[in-house]
Amino acid sequence: MIGVASMPGKAVSADLYRGHFTNKYVAVTGAARGIGLAIARAFAESGATVCLIDRDDYVQFASDDLKADGLDVCALQADVTDEIQMVRLFEELGTSWGKLDVLVNNAGVIAISDLADTSVADFKRVLDVNTTAMFLGIREAAPLLRAAGGGSILNAASGQARQGFIYTPSYAASKFGVLGLTQSLAKELAMDKIRVNAYCPGIVATEMWEYNDREWGSRLGNYKPGELIAEWIDNIPLGRPASESDVSNLILFLASSAAEYITGQAVNIDGGMFMN
């Protein structure tokens, strides 16, 4: 049986970006675990000072683990959907750092359910976390990015920003919304030398995909655990799911000076699931 966590990619950030982000300040939401934590680690290993942001109190333990490795990080606990908390968070970063060079809007949730079982409250919750909170974070971070003389904003989209999947109307809507938000704000913030891009992962080897395999599998057929996701992986041209390091490597590139002429784009990181 093929497990989603059994085929990791190779982390290359330590080799390609060592020291590249020295004296840069980076904030990453949804950073307590999974992709967000991998992104935070990659930036810190590349010389940046990084703030891990998450509503989960585990974010402090994650930060402590990175500090134990000698990395320059801190943790702030906040609900990204709470306007008051987010205003205070970026005020605190402004007091501590005075500027911000990179914001990674990585926090996200997914809900898989039949249409009849999807309440308005459930639908709004997914949009609140995946899209509205992203707008809020960008709004509050923009003055700090301007203070740095420009910078980079990276927004978590999805393969579902390319094609909505069955039983996930709220998630698909939220991720299509991320693309519109990214394009609109890329045009507005370009005058401040702030680049805004989105990244679109496909199947990534994280805990979330265990949930996805179970919930989709129960609705799409009589799948045993792991069978549905194995079937989907078989259809990926590169033959494996993405690892967290695959995603963090893309993020480092998009935030780096090598990508200084790229803005308003949504970049697929899915092994060829969607080609456009």
Tens of pLDDT, residue by residue over 169-222, are 999 999 999 999 999 999 999 999 999 999 999 999 787 878 888 889 889 988
Residue 113, CA distances (Å) to 83, 156, 184, 215 in order: 28, 22, 30, 8
Which residue do the tokens 């039949």 mark?
114
Q: Which of 15-24, 96-105, 204-213, 236-245 has the least mean pLDDT?
A: 204-213
The answer to whether residues 82 and 217 belong to one domain is no
For 27-66, what is each residue's pLDDT tens digit?
Answer: 999 999 999 999 999 999 999 999 999 999 999 999 999 9
pLDDT of residue 207: 78
Query: What is the spatial distance between Cα 190 and Cα 187, in angstroms, rounded to a whole number?
Result: 5
Nearest to 152 by CA among 54, 261, 23, 31: 261
Q: Report how many domains make up the chain.
A: 2
- Reduce the DSSP state of residue 152 to 3 states and report it: strand
The answer to whether residues 111 and 124 belong to one domain is yes
C-alpha angle with apex 123: 121 to 127, nearest 5 degrees? Answer: 110
Is residue 111 in some structural domain?
Answer: yes
Is 171 annotated as catalytic? yes
Is residue 86 in some structural domain?
Answer: yes
For 108-161, what is each residue's pLDDT tens digit?
Answer: 999 999 999 999 999 999 999 999 999 999 999 999 999 999 999 999 999 999
**139 secondary structure, DSSP code:** H
- Reduce the DSSP state of residue 131 to 3 states and report it: helix
pLDDT of residue 122: 96
Q: What token pair was written down for 263?
A: 């803005």
Q: How confident is the model at residue 1 (pLDDT cuts 50, 70, 90)?
A: very low
Q: Could you tell me the pTM of the whole model?
A: 0.93
Domain residues for the domain of 233 are 203-241
The answer to whether residues 233 and 192 belong to one domain is no
Which residue do the tokens 């990534």 mark?
204
For 60-115, what is each residue's pLDDT tens digit?
Answer: 999 999 999 999 999 999 999 999 999 999 999 999 999 999 999 999 999 999 99
Which residue do the tokens 């249409």 mark?
115
The answer for 125, left when phi > 0, alpha when psi is -120 to 50, beta otherwise, is alpha
- Other Cβ atoms closer than 10 A to 59: 26
pLDDT of residue 7: 42
C-alpha angle with apex 172: 167 to 173, nearest 5 degrees? Answer: 120
Q: How confident is the model at residue 6 (pLDDT cuts 50, 70, 90)?
A: very low
Contact (Cβ atoms closer than 8 angstroms) between residue 177 and residue 170: no
The answer to whether residues 24 and 135 belong to one domain is yes
Catalytic residue, chosen from 171, 199, 211, 261, is 171
Is residue 266 in some structural domain?
Answer: no
The answer to whether residues 220 and 115 belong to one domain is no
The answer to whether residues 181 and 216 belong to one domain is no
